[in-house]
Amino acid sequence: MNKENEIRKQLKNDFRQKARDAFENSLPMTRTEFRELFDYLDEKLNKQECDNQNTLSKKFLEDNGITNTNSVLEWLAEKGGYCDCEILANVEEHFE
């Protein structure tokens, strides 16, 4: 690999790392709490239909003592999760 290709590869890696860091720093709760939310929603939505709101997510946050509920819900909406089923469809993939 020539020097120019090595530099390009390093720049891409640096860019990806900065994007990952920015994502991590934007999280309003821990990755573990997000995984638990996704598992909770998956279980509940297998038994009932989405009400096109974030009712289940709010309940999860309340039941788990998450105090910055509005920040979490705003963050989820920014990532395309406006209701419980969209949180699973659009947000969960950011954590894989």
Q: What is the pLDDT of residues 63-83, one digit of tens each?
A: 999 999 999 999 999 999 999
Is the residue at 75 inside a domain?
Answer: yes
Is the residue at 40 inside a domain?
Answer: yes
In this structure, which amino acid lies at residue 61? L
Is the residue at 67 inside a domain?
Answer: yes
Is the residue at 54 inside a domain?
Answer: yes
Q: Model-level pTM? A: 0.83
- Is residue 41 pLDDT above 90, yes or no? yes
Q: Domain span at residue 33?
A: 28-95
Is the residue at 68 inside a domain?
Answer: yes
- Is residue 1 pLDDT above 80, yes or no? no
16-43: average pLDDT: 89
Number of domains in the chain: 1
Buried b (16+ CB within 10 A) or exposed e, 49-81: ebeeebebbeebbeeeebeebeebbebbbebeb
CB 80 within 8 A of CB 91: yes
Is the residue at 7 inside a domain?
Answer: no
